[in-house]
Chain A
Amino acid sequence: MAPQLTHPDIQSLLGAFALDAVDDDEASIIEIHLTECPRCRAEVVEHREAASLLSFTGTAAPEGVWSRIAAGLEETPPPFQLARPSAPVRPLAFRVMAAGAAVAAGVIGVLATQVVRDNSRIDRLASIASRHGVDQAAAAAAIAPGARKVHLSSNDGAQAVDAVVLRDGRGYLIQSHLASLGRDQTYQLWGVIGAQTISLGVLGDQPAITPFKAAGPLKALAITVEHTGGAVAPTTSPVVQGFVST
């Protein structure tokens, strides 16, 4: 059974949490709490800063490892292009969602980074997330083993969408910050699978939590503006786009 933790209980665990030294159930509850409590969040940051000092050995970075990292970067796919974007800038709207972000989105953002080891934990977290207005299936997906969070962003960072992709190709759009569209327009979701760009769904003019399914390993997601009813292939440059991490 999941532990019930009061605010003082959580506060007492913040040091151990910062050192990755709490149980998974406790960690889940604390992570959710941190999305809502700036004071505790600040304390965890301070604890991690302190802990990081322990590693301050000044040991030279191993050269051989850098060679492997650099070699791996050559395999990194080039910036995703359904149509040529205006500037070769990666999504870097780091704080797009920070100010005024919904609690539910924060919950998902945290949960998506976790590896879940038992189903009861999934159920519990999904329940917690659903209380914040997030679709339960999407919440469960966000915390499923191997779930990958994808941040789709416009070049200027003004528009953004968060999605979760599961190992089997299923996924959900979790949160959208997209501009309003005209009456005859719709947003459409696209996935890059291999060398192909596949439609993953017509989203309407105000995308909500939306499930989708890709038939193969997704490299990237993008959303374009199309005429109502959608298109068989993208006809405009992506409004937002983002890579699916491997």
Chain B
Amino acid sequence: MKNTWSDSSDAALVIAIGRWSEEALAEAYRRHGGAVFALARRVCRDAGISEEVVQEVFVKLWTTPDRFDPERGSLRSWLLAQTHSRAIDRLRSDSSRRTREERDVSRTANAGYDVEREVWDLAVADRVNDVMGDLPDLERRAIELAYFDGYTYREVAQLLDTPEGTVKSRIRSGLKRMRADLVDAETGQPWHHS
């Protein structure tokens, strides 16, 4: 799907999408579709549902590009927030949720950092792996359970047998630590197309 937009910034892509450029949308999909799909699959755990979520997210970008505000974060971050919200909705409406809650929490919390190495920027994937590994255990597990497994912080507190206030603060501090280690220490966002 190489196209004339390959060297354009994400912001330029969105402007072009606003002008009905399907090529620009294809380029946005090429850049971010993999991450969107990976997140949907990680949360939904169903390839078919995940593909539906991916489709919804990019069609939404096509129909309402004005919802993306570059002053409020990167395109990827916006797409993934959309993805996560939709995936969580699917997950929470899933009647099998009760079954999922019975699963082995430690297995859940420790799974998933087999970051695929077929990445165009291996260094970033490695750093994500390293930084997550360096987070205090409670921070890492709380973030994983909330983000990838769709549990609310109250549910995470129950699963980890930890006060709700502690879980809230650990999620917040963990995200701040991640950002400091992964973003602020870099010259910019690792996926950013300037």
Contact = CB atoms under 8 A, between A and B. Distances in A.
Same complex for A and B? Answer: yes
Interface in B82-131: 84-85, 88-89, 115-122, 124-125, 128
Contact of A46 (B20, B128, B179): B179
B30 interface: yes
* Chain B interface size, under 10 / 10 to 19 / 20 to 34 / 35 or more: 35 or more
A52 B29 CA distance: 16
Interface string B43-83: 00000000100110011101111101111111011001100
Interface stretch (A85-93, A138-146, A183-191, A208-216): A85-93
A204 interface: no
B55 A91 contact: no
Contacts of A246: 63
B77 A16 contact: no
A93 B66 CA distance: 7
B22 A70 contact: yes
Contacts of A59: 34-35, 37-38, 116, 118-119
A65 interface: yes
Contacts of A15: 168, 171-176
Contacts of A194: none
A153 to B, nearest CB: 8
Interface in A102-148: 115
* Chain A interface size, under 10 / 10 to 19 / 20 to 34 / 35 or more: 35 or more
A232 interface: no
B72 A16 contact: no
B162 interface: no
A49 interface: yes
Contact of B119 (A13, A51, A57): A57
B116 A58 contact: yes
A53 interface: yes
Contacts of A92: 15, 18-19, 65-66
Given A58-B122, A59-B34, 14 more contacts: A12-B165, A16-B172, A18-B175, A19-B147, A45-B73, A48-B81, A51-B84, A51-B143, A52-B80, A56-B124, A56-B191, A58-B35, A66-B1, A93-B66
9 nearest CB pairs, A to B: A58-B119, A61-B33, A15-B172, A21-B146, A92-B18, A50-B179, A59-B34, A15-B171, A55-B39
7 contacts: A18-B175, A20-B85, A45-B72, A53-B183, A55-B42, A61-B29, A65-B33
